[in-house]
Amino acid sequence: MWRRLTVGGDLTMQRFVGEEPTFGLLSAKVGYHFGNRQKPGKLDPFIDFIVGSAITKRIMVSSAGVGGGLNYWFRDRLGLRAEGRFQMARVEEGLCLFRIGLSFR
User: Can you give the pTM of this predicted structure?
Assistant: 0.78
Taking the C-alpha atoms of residue 82 and residue 71, their distance in angstroms, rounded to an integer, is: 7
- Domain ranges for the chain, please list them: 5-104
Largest CA distance in the chain: 49
- The overall average pLDDT reported for the chain is 86
- Please tell me the least confidently modeled range out of 1-10, 62-71, 80-89: 1-10
Residue-level pLDDT at 78 = 95
Q: Given pLDDT bands bounded at 50, 70 and 90, which one contains residue 51?
A: very high
- The residues pairing with 94 across neighbouring beta strands, listed in sequence order, are 88
Taking the C-alpha atoms of residue 10 and residue 31, their distance in angstroms, rounded to an integer, is: 13
- The residues pairing with 72 across neighbouring beta strands, listed in sequence order, are 43, 80
